[in-house]
Amino acid sequence: MKKTVLIIPPNDAEAVLIYELAKAMGIQVIRSAQPHGATLDRELDIVPLVRDGGWKRVVIVEMPGPEVEARLRALGVEVVILDHHHYTDLNRAHDAKGRPLPSSLEQFLRLFRVTDARLRVMGYAPKIALGIGVMDRGFFWALREEGYRPKEIERVLALRRDLLARHGLLRDEEKQMTAARKAWNARTEWNGYQIVMNGTATGVREGVSFMVALEVKRPTPIIFVEKKRGFLYVQESDRAMDLFRAFGGFTFGLDRNWGYRNVPGRNRVTLDDIKRVITKCD
């Protein structure tokens, strides 16, 4: 433990919980301020920082960066990756045998041998804490599939809110939910997909996802076009991996969800491109 450092961006509920557990356990932590989409190569001076810190094992949570990882290994450092996503040219959603990986929280608990008893000592109800990872892995639907009762799901959601609030991640919640409601109400339908267009700088995907979970109460295929932010997402779709293979980007939610960001220097993806791939593969 004294020779281990955890590198993590506490930018969502799962990462916040891992961060809090690590701190409570006395694990040394390098906290990244990056939002969603964090990568190791954007952490300035991370290699000399690890070298000067004298750490022999670096545990990296959902911050892909093969080149920087290679430089860390060249120092003689053991590099451990906690992740469960696909990225362009990088499969971190499966193990060496091709099996889907559990959530990063579940991997963290296993790596550091965190028992239910230890979770209780740190102030967490084990099943509810684990639910944060289950939800990150497969959203509401994974909680239901794994036997969480409605009251337990409410407790998972309450813990999620507490985690986000403690780290200032709910500051824009009212603005985000207002934008999400407006975008959802203006949705159109195509080929069994709800199409949600958002022209504001406020992300709506998460807000809409919670609306669907609480109001529609079943997995619903959705295409999000967040034009101003440059993001496109396709959720709850058998075509997510087809889109990933066609355009790159990233996957989440057991490879049933795909995302892509249009940035300068990268091939631009449009709604028509997404429709073309889905139509071709159906």
**CA 24 remoteness from chain centre:** 22
CATH of domain 175-280: 3.10.310
- Single-letter amino acid, residue 231: F
The sign of the dihedral angle between the CA atoms of 24, 206, 150, 107 is negative
Q: What is the pTM of this model?
A: 0.93
Q: Is residue 2 predicted with pLDDT exceeding 90?
A: no
The per-residue pLDDT for 183 is: 97
For 248-263, the pLDDT digits (tens) are: 999 999 899 999 999 9
Confidence bin at 282 (pLDDT 50/70/90) = confident
- CA–CA dist 200, 223 (Å, integer): 16
Q: What residues contact residue 39 under an 8 Å CB cut-off, 6+ apart?
A: 63, 64, 65
Please provide residue 258's backbone torsions phi and psi, each rounded to the nearest 5 degrees. -130, 145
Q: Is residue 1 predicted with pLDDT exceeding 90?
A: no
For 41-79, the pLDDT digits (tens) are: 999 899 999 999 999 999 999 999 999 999 999 999 999
Please provide residue 44's backbone torsions phi and psi, each rounded to the nearest 5 degrees. -65, 135
- CA–CA dist 107, 61 (Å, integer): 10
For 186-228, the pLDDT digits (tens) are: 999 999 999 999 999 999 999 999 999 999 999 999 999 999 9
The per-residue pLDDT for 44 is: 87
Contact between 101 and 107 (Cβ < 8 Å): yes
Q: How do the domains of the chain map onto residue ranges?
A: 4-124, 175-280
The per-residue pLDDT for 36 is: 87
Q: In what order do the strands lie in the sheet with 193-198?
A: 90-91, 86-87, 250-252, 257-261, 231-235, 222-226, 193-198, 188-190
* Class at the top of the CATH hierarchy for domain 4-124: alpha beta
